[in-house]
A and B are shown apart, each in its own frame.
Chain A
Amino acid sequence: MNQALALIVVVPMVGAAVAALLPAGRGPWLLATAISWYMLAAAAMLAGQAMDLGMLSYAMGGWEPPYGVEYRLDPANALLALLIAGLAAVVLPFAGPSLANEVPIEKSPWLYAALLLFLAGQMGIAVSGDAFNIFVFLEISSLATYTLIALGRNRRALTASFSYLIMGTVGATFFLIGVGLLYAMTGTLNMADLAARIPEVASSRTVHTAYAFIVVGVCLKLALFPLHLWLPNAYTYAPSAVTALLAATATKVAIYLLIRFIWTVFGIDFSINEMPTVQLLVPLAIVGLLSTSVVAIGQDKIKRMLAYSSVAQIGYMVLGIGMATELGLTAALLHLFNHALMKGALFMALGCIAYRLGTSKLDAFRGLGRRMPWTMAAFVAGGLSLIGVPLTVGFISKWYLVLAAIELGWWPVVAVIIVGSLLAIVYIWRVVEVAYLQRADDESRCEAPLSLLVPTWILVLTNFWFGIDTRLTIGMAERAAALLAGAGP
């Protein structure tokens, strides 16, 4: 029995209730930050154990699986848990000054309660081994997200939040319908148990329908093209720190769910032989990757540009999943981790700029290379990582994706991956040029405070750290992919 596996979800959830009761001010923020650090420590410890032992399990309330709710950690979700907790631990210190500037202080108890609920939900999805329980956590984190987005300064945050609410609810409902159908056919909700029982009934139309509902529902959550329309507005109008956290973790958790259901629950043989998974995911990933990158080039608001870039990057991950090989899966998992680092860093740099200038319009970037040298350097470093320059995490991701495509002999896909990178050069360099080579009317220096710069740079440096020392990331991704690929019949 490993209590930490339960506590990593329970602590932020209880913390949310406590935060809501605290007086407005710095208290809720400090509590949330402390909890995020606890989560990181716990996740690191659990991930270490999961890598050593292969699998950790905790039966909620002492009810043995498959009857009770089981929390289960193997290398695949250990990577995700580490990612969520790690990003939270970096973004929350940043969130204090950043959100204090963007959201009225009297809302702070509710704000941090929602943030903690969001984290509890995300972590719950990551560690839970029970399909219905996952739905519950999906809803918890989604409801918290709608609140967080609606807190944005611009009134358009309300419509952005509302349209995400509609799309997110449709996605969650589809997921629930799928889980219900599976329960009807197999009588179980435990995912490991489902994986064992589905092959007996795999040819039934009900299971096919369940697969379709679950995959479409999850794809709505992870914003696969063309189900991504909620994402750009949500990212653009949410408060800066919230965007950083959402971009880094929310869609990644949905990607994990997609991988888990395709590879473990349904089994890869079922997914690619009985269902048109590859035929569906690969073209959508490719079209999404290229079209949203092109759209990103035309954006005037840099926050929205990065949001479109996120949709494009999700295309890379889905492409890796759609390859349906172990190497492709490794690439997808690696990019899942690595993209969180680069997008987190980029959105945090935008947060620093929003803190001083209150906007992320391209015009406002003129002369920023001189006015906010450290912030812009962070942006450039994050951008290089996004492009995939060697010694950054982006390079490692690209390497594995291209390698996986070459292994299959998919040369046109290699070209697509490369063209995606080249488009990233265009939209990142547009900003760099304006910031460094155009003069501003007001040349005064206005660097962001250290309380924002330090967390931003920590994340920037992780982009280089994991781009050079890849033992942890590649090691975990390979273990996870081998496990997922081996789990199928």
Chain B
Amino acid sequence: MRPLTIHRKGEAILGRDGLALEALPLEFQRIFPDVSPKYIDNLSLLAAIAAGRAMDKPLEENIRKDFAVIMGSAFGSLDSVVDFDAQALQKGPNTVNPMDFPNTVANAAGSRIGIWLQLKGPNVMLTNGETSFIDAIGFAWEGSNSGLFEHCLVGAVEKLPAFLKSLAAGSPSEAGREGACFLLASAGPKEDSLFQVVDYFALQLNPDLSVPKGFKGRFEGLWDGVEWLGCPETTPLDPLFPRGLIRTSPPSPVRELGLGGLESLIAFISGTASCGIVGAFSKSERKVSFIKINKKKGAVENGSNGN
């Protein structure tokens, strides 16, 4: 299997680097000056800003025609679905603006990135819960190896309806990360590399939290050469991890939701380990997802962060 080389990372995380909800239209227009942000929901604005920040230069037509957009999200377009529905309930179904309707489909954000950047390869949206970000990267790695595309933007986006945040956790600050992150990637080994994805493993565990029989060998083979593990919390698989791994967990108490794994990925990029695994875990769905990643000794993200 070929590695998936990650060249650049672009982020648009609310509350980080001063990014506020109100500033999204302005920041969006800085990146897409020819597109009006009117009628475009916050989910799409966040995704587009992160995608724009991950791209360092315009792409040539021969690259764009097979260039994929792969993204994940736990809640998808739920924020816009409840907004649209609330308008219809409060003022009547014939008063809602039809221009707002496209925001209610989860693939709107990825499709708009495809339209605005003229990316004509597969455009894929995974709503895969709290492992969405890692699963999108895994899909990109497997998809590029299956011959679906050679280049892609891969990432995740999350925006929650305000009223749902109170359901997520004890305090609103712990409710969940909102924002987007995209990685600019291409198939095969490349010089211009932030890191490389070399393997992916994702699994819903058995109801008794064991690894299904047929997947055990695959799980065990994942750990060859791995020196570092970034995983957000304890998982039922902890007793099965090899001994001696350096393990880190993100310090933030905020639930990463669809962006699960992002903090660990950032830690790997800036750390000293050359081979690591980044994981995400969904407790409610008994699901673990891991990507195995490599980077050259001493490589740092200077100039490649896109922020």
| A and B part of one assembly | no
